[in-house]
Amino acid sequence: MRSFTPLFMLAVGVAAAWQARAAEISPRPVVEGVAQAIADNYYDAAKGAAVASQLRAEAARGTYDRLTDPRDLATKLSERLRPLDHHFNVSWSAEAAAAPRSSQGPAAGPGPSRVDAVRRANYGIRRVEILGGNLGYIDMRMFADFEFDQPDAPARKAIEAALQMVANTDAVIIDLRDNGGGSPAMVGYLASAFTPRGANIYNTFRYREGTESEAPKDWYPAPRLAIPLYVLTSGRTGSAAEALAYTLKNARRAVIVGEASGGAANPGGPVPVAGGFSIFVSNGSPVSPITGTNWEGGGVQPDVQIPAAKALDAARALALETVLKTATGPAAQDARWALEAIRAETAPPATKPLGDYVGAYGAVEIVEVEGRLAMKRGRRPLSVLLPLGGETFTILGETARRVVFERDAKGAVTAFEAIGYEGGGSRYRREAAPGA
């Protein structure tokens, strides 16, 4: 399977290059090398030849002659080329400039340092969590590569562990807002965890030498076909991460929430150029069997358009509303309480003076901390209270718990009850009335 190069890898290379002091160079030979790399490797041979011709003509006119710092030339060429294909990226490395150049063509593969970087990034799995209301949440920052004939491949085991952790949730949210892409193998395998085996939903990549499907060569063994699924996107969502969102959206299997993705559809890899330069060239282009096209340029459009910073809360609310359509008993109560907490955070209700509640309630003390109430008990961490309206509060971050205060006929707070969504709880009487 061909691979996208994660955008963070490109960024690492660029950052390393800018730390080095660069000697002046002659831009025209570099532009010629970049042009030749595009002509030789771009998936659309005719377009590749046309782009190369344009670059050569510009170089001949002296367009790039003043850019004698290799870093400036790399930036300028990237800006020039990226509107033609969002994966085009020219970089320069002082280390590569000092090393002997053995051959030209697509890079052979990730070196030891890049492999270690992927491992240290936990194969892209930043966070897996069970959110209030029993929602599964997976925060993925890249799609690590693996071979399907290696069931113990670390990247495959990492995503399987994440999926297993959310296996008992009532809905799943996959966060791709900061995911720059990676491996089509991960796209196919992760999509197969939520879609029927053999479904005709996967992109087919067109290369100069033929085609290749993004469908997994091995299917996730326990797909959740009916679980409500939400995918978060932003302008940072790129490449393979966009492929997952595009595939699941077109299959009507997930609701996409957030902002339009980056619009980088075409996979490829870095091609070395003389003088320490390299250019990422797209050597393939995906085509969806559902749309007959891809997301290059325009990005994947969300089903629910909302600022990326608010996408998680919006997806949580949507998921809980969906769960409540069929949930009964304690599960429905859990979801309802979680949804009410999200709404209260978004639009805080009016509250009575916090001083009304502050005081000792047996073994528990209600205190005011930075403009909020909190429950204090011995050496336990404080439990911050989020008002839900009236005399009812929830525990911030623990929506399955609530605190309900009681007042006497004169309006003084006299007690509170701590309860859980399954029922039952403990009542704590105030030791003395205010001012007593």
Is residue 231 located within the same domain as residue 376? no
Domain count, the chain: 3
Say if CB 302 and CB 260 are below 8 A apart. yes
Is residue 14 located within the same domain as residue 155? no
Say if CB 281 and CB 88 are below 8 A apart. yes
Q: What local confidence, expressed as pLDDT, does residue 101 receive?
A: 53
Is residue 165 located within the same domain as residue 310? yes
Let me know if residue 349 belongs to a domain: no
Is residue 158 located within the same domain as residue 207? yes
Quote the domain boundaries for residue 172.
119-269+282-324
Q: What local confidence, expressed as pLDDT, does residue 27 receive?
A: 96
Let me know if residue 331 belongs to a domain: no
Is residue 256 located within the same domain as residue 317? yes
Torsion over CA of 64, 68, 70 and 73, rounded to 10 degrees? -20
For residue 419, the domain's CATH number is 2.40.128.50
Q: Which residues in the chain show pLDDT less than 50?
A: 1, 8-20, 102-105, 108
| Beta strand pairing call for 364-369 and 372-376 | antiparallel
Let me know if residue 111 belongs to a domain: no
CA distance linking residue 245 with residue 345, whole number of Å: 28
| Beta strands in 108-214, from DSSP E residues, in sequence order | 125-131, 135-140, 171-175, 204-207, 210-213
pLDDT tens readout for residues 220-234: 999 999 999 999 999
Place of tokens 């051959």: 103
Q: What local confidence, expressed as pLDDT, does residue 157 receive?
A: 97
pLDDT tens readout for residues 51-85: 999 999 999 999 999 999 999 999 999 999 999 99
Q: What local confidence, expressed as pLDDT, does residue 43 receive?
A: 96
Q: What local confidence, expressed as pLDDT, does residue 425 receive?
A: 87
> 78 vs 43, 55, 59, 270, 280, CA distance in Å?
18, 12, 15, 13, 10
Say if CB 225 and CB 168 are below 8 A apart. no
Q: What local confidence, expressed as pLDDT, does residue 417 receive?
A: 96
> 48 vs 36, 53, 56, 433, CA distance in Å?
9, 9, 12, 81
